[in-house]
Amino acid sequence: MNIQNIISEIAQFDSEVYDRLDSRRAAMRQFTRWGGRLALAAVPFALGSMFKKAYGQSSGGGITAVLNYALTLEYLEAEFYTKGAASGVVPAGTPAVGAINTIRDHENAHVVFLKNALNAMGATPVPKPTFDFTAGGAFANIFSNYDTFLAVAQTFEDTGVRAYKGRAAELITNNAVLTAALQIHSVEARHASHIRQMRKARGAGLKPWITGKDTGGIGAAVQASYNGEELTNQAGVDITKFVSANAASESFDEPLTAEQVLAIVKPFIV
Amino acid sequence: MENLHPVLPSAGNNDRLLPDKLGRRKFLTYCGLAASAATLAACKKDKDNNNMPPAGSIDLGMGDIGILNYAFALEQLEAAFYTQVVASPYSGITAGELALLTDIRDHEVAHREFFKAALGTKAIVSLEVNFSAVNFGSRDSVLATAKAFEDLGVSAYNGAGQLITDPAYLLLAGKIVSVEARHAAYIRDLISNGSFADNTVVDASGLDLASKPADVLMAAKPFLKSVLYAGNLPTA
């Protein structure tokens, strides 16, 4: 990105932009200071913060709240896969090891990215909660039984996809943050697809996509993560006019509200 | 389709994006008017707005409607591709592969028909495709093309999100893009197990691809006989 061009563009219709930014030199010095300290990926957020200060806009509250919400979910996933990969629950010498390591690395990268983004926007990242992946004993063998581990992994991924989707609209005023959230969202969906294939290879009856509100054989313990996925009417259009009811539900993933997601993950947070 | 009209207002834009970014008053001053939402949206777009499409090309249109037509075009391409894949399966296809490729065909048909119904009279025409570069008898050729289309679709929706002004459309795009990502991961794993999210599509920050319409349409161009014109799409 060319920061100077962006500022020049704004100067065309706001001749006071440099004053607003204290002075061109000070602004760029401030920006360079931020930029040097941050991962490159966080630079758009730092730029947003610079303009936010200059114009006194409060784009912060809602957006940083969503980012902290996302960070909480990413903490959950990152620690889950980090512990899982270290536990030996994933059969050694199989392709599963590489797949779980890949997902682990992505979730940890999401944690770093979101923390950087929040810091760049002048907000404070929420601290990592203490997790109990047995969910109070409901999944007591989480790190010793591979099928339990994959079942919880699937639920986290499918829930994560729905969680990002449910709050994307709150980011609509900030292009950089919205785009980054969408870029994380589709990675979670790739993970979900692969974990579901891993479970299928273990004999579970499911597909890479969600049919109706089916849990893929996991059952009532995770039903809340799938309720609502059975929708076959989109914006007033009955999708079953074109394809089967199963395909109609599979072809659109549905959002979850923050309240729904927090209820789902609550048993995993001490 | 009358019941859709509340969902799809004729003015495909609003000014929601502006206040947080530039300060509404300054922006209106720049535009030189106290604009209606539609004019304001037009002002927001690039200077080449309202370009005349070249003769014989299909204008995707402006604003949110333009973005929905852009998605409609991509879904038409994918649906046509998988319809052909299922109609003439590659040699050596397994029952499991055929079943899931049929699912994908149905999903893409659902997406295509959804956009067509939702856009109503604003929908672009049906596109003519060109799959002459694809060998439908070859697993390698079909899956390589499928992978390209799915990854392209994911990057297209990810890149288009910021161009959408209506939160309802943004949510719809979000509902579709994660299904495309599920497809992409499945197709990639068919080609090479474990490549569902490799570093050709996911960067070191764990972010998937996001592409601008111009880049996506350039990649799709060889597969289309129809010529699309994106010169009136929003660019920011």
pLDDT of residue A60 exceeding 60, the answer is no
Mean pLDDT computed over B125-149: 98
pLDDT of residue A8 exceeding 70, the answer is no
- Best A157, A158, A193, A206 residue to mutate vs chain B (most B CBs within 10 Å): A193
Distance CA A266, CA B95 (A): 41
Q: Do A250 and B107 touch (CB under 8 A)?
A: yes
Helix spans in B127-166 (H): 139-160
Residue B50, pLDDT score: 74
Q: Do A250 and B158 touch (CB under 8 A)?
A: no
pLDDT of residue A95 exceeding 60, the answer is yes
- Using an 8 Å CB-CB cutoff, list chain B residues near A189: 177-179, 181-182, 185
- Using an 8 Å CB-CB cutoff, list chain B residues near A247: 103, 106-107, 110
Residue A270, pLDDT score: 93
Domain A58-209 in CATH 3.40.50.2000: no
B54 touches chain A (CB under 8 A): no
Residue A45, pLDDT score: 53
- Using an 8 Å CB-CB cutoff, list chain A residues near B24: none
Residue B236, pLDDT score: 87
- Range from B22-36, B102-116, B133-147 carrying the lowest mean pLDDT: B22-36
pLDDT above 70 covers a percentage of chain A that reads 77
pLDDT of residue B27 exceeding 90, the answer is no
Mean pLDDT (chain B) is 85
Tokens of B68: 């929905």
Mean pLDDT (chain A) is 85
Does the model's ipTM exceed the 0.95 cut? no
- Using an 8 Å CB-CB cutoff, list chain A residues near B162: 175, 178-179
Q: Choose among A47, A163, A63, A183: nearest CA to B159.
A: A183
* Contact predicate B136/B180, CB 8 Å: no
Mean pLDDT computed over A43-55: 45
Q: Residues A207, A208, A210, CA angle at the centre, nearest 5°?
A: 75
Fold for domain B57-229? Ferritin (1.20.1260)
Distance CA B161, CA B150 (A): 17
Residue B5, pLDDT score: 35
For residues B196 and B42, the model is more confident at B196
Residue B49, pLDDT score: 55
pLDDT tens digits along A144-203 = 999 999 999 999 999 999 999 999 999 999 999 999 999 999 999 999 999 999 999 999
Residues 188-227 of B with CB under 8 A from A: 189, 193-194, 196-198, 201-210
Residue B51, pLDDT score: 85
Tokens of A31: 């920006």
Distance CA B20, CA B27 (A): 11
Q: Residues B197, B201, B204, CA angle at the centre, nearest 5°?
A: 85
pLDDT tens digits along B70-128 = 999 999 999 999 999 999 999 999 999 999 999 999 999 999 999 999 999 999 999 99
Burial A138-147 (b: 16+ CB within 10 A, else e): ebeebbeebe
Facing residue for A255 by CB, picked from B17, B23, B171: B171
User: Which segments of chain B belong to CATH 1.20.1260.10?
Assistant: 57-229
Distance CA A244, CA B110 (A): 9
pLDDT of residue B11 exceeding 90, the answer is no
Q: Do A190 and B177 touch (CB under 8 A)?
A: no
**Residue A142 to residues A78, A134, A147, A205, B211: CA-CA distances in angstroms?**
15, 6, 8, 20, 39
Facing residue for A251 by CB, picked from B17, B110, B157: B110
